[in-house]
Amino acid sequence: MPVNTKLADFGWGPLQERQRSAQADQNIRPARVLDVHRSLVHVAAPSFDESVPTPLNHEKGPVTVGDWVFVDESGKRIVSILDRTSLFRRRAPGTDYREQLIAANVDTLFIVSSCNHDFNEARLERYLAIGRDAGVMSLIVLTKADLCEDSSDYVRRSSKLAPGLIVETVNALERESLAVLDSWLASGQTIALLGSSGVGKSTLTNTLLGRRDISTQEARADDDRGRHTTTSRQMHQLPGGAWLVDTPGMRELQLTDVRSGLDDVFAEITELARKCRFADCTHNAEPGCAVLAAVENSEVDVDRVTRWRKLVREEAHNRESIAERRARDKSTGKLYKTIISETQRKKGREA
């Protein structure tokens, strides 16, 4: 169990305090979600550490790692999920267009990549869009800098991916090398790690923890990629009091409901798009397209424009598909309630 004496040690802040003050039932207790399983949720607070049943059919959707919840007087049941300061989500893998929550109430996002073959600008832009849309501080952490002859090119390419982006290079095996991250690791702060499989997230987590809680495997010799071994999202408390959310490696990160994040990450292209002759310009071949004109004049990188178009189309498609699914589920739910209500009324008349 984490050793903490007050809620602030768990990340409790003004938004959560306002919600507690508005509660009529003073017997409920607040707790932080540290781990989520299929049927149980691990929650903790000062002098409280329990595994309780996973709440179903909550109006805020499923509970996720980092959530604040209210637990009943017995400490055995979650009665509500508090409003979140931030929320990371994606379209779940598969074809049924479900939305998957990644983590909630995160203060800072460490987007982890590595100085080798795994470095991928398009993937980093996806992570950045999620972070910017959630409104949290996002920075890129480049691992395996010690195995690279010159990491400056990776830093240069990363720095160009979003306005004001901070990029740090580290050796994830050495705590001294990670001192550049300490500004974001104050007590009570919550940091999430996002990155694809094998970039060193588990090694980074182990070094920050000062122990080997997270299993890792050696990198494959043929491509320098490690085999990611984290299989679930969970929160770990660091020695300085910050909380770290490790996530499984996610090469498939389908975007949904992050258009503002995309506009922020691709700010220079978004600004150009507003100057196009047609409001519904697709930036492919239309006359008067300011984006294409900028490409022709070498004012913007054509590969970056191509990636932007792809992500905008993907985000719009997923957003519309998930909205349609929600509407179908809501309609089906109403139908079931009508059938159940009618059945109960019929039984009452017969009695």
Instruction: Look up the CATH number of the domain holding residue 191.
Output: 3.40.50.300
Q: Are residues 321 and 181 in the same domain?
A: no
User: Is residue 232 domain-resident?
Assistant: yes
If asked whether residues 104 and 221 sit together in one domain, one would say yes
Mean pLDDT, range 308-320, rounded to an integer: 81
What is residue 290's three-state secondary structure?
Answer: helix
Q: What pLDDT is recorded for position 5?
A: 76
pLDDT at 95: 53
Task: Say what the pLDDT of residue 45 is.
Answer: 94
Task: Give the strand pairing for 137-143 and 166-169.
Answer: parallel
Looking at residue 36, which CATH number applies to its domain? Answer: 2.30.30.140
CB 229 within 8 A of CB 202: yes
Higher pLDDT, 238 or 198: 238
Closest CA to 259 of 132, 152, 137: 132
Q: Tell whether 253 is covered by a domain.
A: no
Torsion of CA 143, 147, 148, 154, to 10 degrees: -10
Can you give the pLDDT at residue 229? 44
Name the pLDDT band for 49 (thresholds 50, 70, 90). Answer: very high
In tens, the pLDDT along 60-117 reads 778 999 999 999 988 899 999 999 999 987 766 555 556 778 899 999 999 999 999 8
Query: 63 near 36, Cβ under 8 Å?
Result: yes
d(CA 187, CA 315): 35
The Cβ of residue 47 has, within 10 Å, a number of other Cβ atoms equal to 9
How far from 280 is each of 275, 276, 277, 317, CA to CA, in Å? 11, 9, 9, 16
Rounded to two decimals, the pTM is 0.76
Lowest-confidence region among 109-118, 184-193, 249-258, 307-316: 249-258
The reply to whether 156 and 297 lie within a common domain is: no
DSSP structure string for 218-238: PPPTTT-PPPP---S-EEEE-
Question: What is the chain's mean pLDDT, rounded?
Answer: 82
Whether 55 maps to a domain, the answer reads yes
Q: Do residues 34 and 90 make contact, with C-beta atoms less than 8 angstroms apart?
A: no
Percent of the chain surpassing pLDDT 70: 77
Asked if the structure places residue 269 within a domain, the reply is: yes
Same domain, 75 and 121: no
| 155 and 196 fall within a common domain | yes
Please compute Rg for the chain using Cα positions: 23
Overall number of domains in the chain: 3
Q: What is the tens place of the pLDDT at every residue in 77-92? A: 999 999 999 998 776 6
Q: Where are the alpha helices (DSSP H) in the chain?
A: 14-21, 121-134, 152-159, 201-209, 259-265, 267-273, 290-296, 302-350
| Domain interval for residue 290 | 259-326
Query: From CA 273, how far away is CA 266, in angstroms rounded?
Result: 11
Say if 338 falls within a structural domain.
no
Q: Are 92 and 241 within one domain? A: yes
Q: Are strands 137-143 and 108-114 parallel, antiparallel or unpaired?
A: parallel
Q: Write out pLDDT tens, residues 119-176.
A: 989 889 988 988 888 889 999 999 998 888 889 999 999 999 988 899 999 999 999 9
Rounded to an integer, the average pLDDT of 213-229 is 46
Q: How far is CA 200 from CA 28, 139, 143, 294, in A?
A: 40, 16, 7, 37
